[in-house]
Chain A
Amino acid sequence: MYAELILALVKIALLVGGLMTAAAYFVLLERWIAAWVQDRRGPNRVGMPLTKIKLFGLGQPLADGLKFIFKEEYTPAHVNRGLFVLAPIMILASALAIFAVIPFGSAIPGQPIRGWLGDDSDRPIELIAAPGVNVALLYVFALSSIAVYGVILGGWASNNKYSFLGMLRSSAQLIAYEIPLGLGILGVVAASGSLELDRIINVQADTGVWFALAQPLGFVVFMIAAFAEAARLPFDLPEAEQELIGGYHTEYSGMKLLLFLVAEFLHMITASFLIVILFLGGWHFWGITGAGEAEVTWLSAILRIVVLMAKIFLVILFFMLVRWSWPRFRFDQLMNLAWKVMLPLGMVNLTAVAITVELEHTMGLSRWLSVAIGWTVCIAGWLAVAWAAPLAGDNRPRRELRPYGIDSQV
């Protein structure tokens, strides 16, 4: 009893500490990538505190954190004070709470550790803060929707037109993209038969076919929706520095701003975890990590953690490269993409997955045939969307109209 409690507390401490550190270092990585892509060198001066050791700038997160702590925390007079304080707390709390059900590895052999804690069972220790939650995906979704509240409250409470515009944009965007996000996940849930993230990884490890390979269309839809949910470029309309200064956190400064920024990075980390766990096999890699239900040894446990972290790092690297690769969508394009492209594609994927799963169960359809069906559906769906081209809008001025006509169009 106490052993379980202590284990849970240790896992929570590891998770929260690790996530905060990871977020800080991902800020550094983001600044490096930004600099390198722009042919600059990036932060490379701050090293060990109080020494002259530079360490490629690895001390930068510490300096950034100190800067934020010592900055004046200014609350403008025109804000709704209660909501203004509540918003960053809410967004960070929900971003952190999501990780309660997200596995950060497979499991480690439990015997020695449980022995110290006075527990004589030899069950392995699962690397999830709350193991065995069988509605984990629902929980993730519920909390990621609450994150929208943080944005909305922040924008509303700021009582500033830029914040308000950012808030409006983000509420529309995040709600619109939750639907394709859900449709992308539904395919995985249908194919694996579980909402539990551990089970989803185990299914992929046992079959050896990652869901990204089995349902490429679902992967694409989920990936794009995850970018939009994390409000990363090319979907960063809630912030859009060039248009809205800072969007919903324009009026924030000091620690409250830091909470918002950390929460944004946590959303990106969450999105990477979900992409990796749902579609890229989680901790599984062919030939080195073993099957899902196999007995865990220290070697396989550590290998699995390394594989999972490596995949997440690569996905985050992709997130950061994408930021500098493509321009931001216009708002109408964003909405068209959500409702006219992502939603139908998600539906098509779900239907295809449902049919293949049913055929696998009833008629013994071979797995490779269902993978082939998945790819065919992906290519066909994509071609159909390209042919219909719902995003190609003509917004040139109508030349045959008189000038007042053009004005009235605007």
Chain B
Amino acid sequence: MSQLADALAALDEEEVAKLVREKIDAGVDAMSILNECRSGMDIVGERYKSGEYFLSELVVSGEIFKECMKVIEPHLKAGKQADTLAKMVLGTVKGDIHNIGKDIVNVLLGAAGFEVYDLGVDVEPRIFVEKLIETEAPILGMSGLLTPAFESMKETVKAVEAAGLRDKVRIIVGGGVVTELVGKYVGADRFTSDGLKGVEICKEFAKELK
């Protein structure tokens, strides 16, 4: 494993910033630097799954990754953007303004290679549908913490169906109180109350869609 990936996995913010800057200055291909950062994020994910790291470490690694991207992105060759796993539309559903879980998942999805269209919070069903049509994203992620959010998730799934997109779009719902019962009730394909597991499920979706 590279020094950069190790530094990111160790959440050593200063060392990561120094190494990224040195590599950019030395003319190292930006895509390979990005891939080293992603390897570091993968280690963080493994440590989270094994119980060594907690949500806070996912958050810190995500923030470090975001800082890296600010430096790396301008150097990615024109026309050759970072490789993406899949496009994805994400948002907290109508009537709910909780953003913490969604924002964390957004960063983790970006680090994993998804092109995420984050619609923010309190998102109407038709806004989700319009974005799915506009971007042709095959994955929809909906977040919510309050129990009334379950109704909004259900309405959104119905709106996706009404737009004739249901067989083209994989749907995942997530949130602190989202359970299997909720997943079934709203008509989602998968559910989770764990951000990183949500990312893994989206990776499975991306594989199925290839």
Q: Do A and B come from one complex?
A: no
Residues in chain B within 8 A of chain A (CB atoms):
none
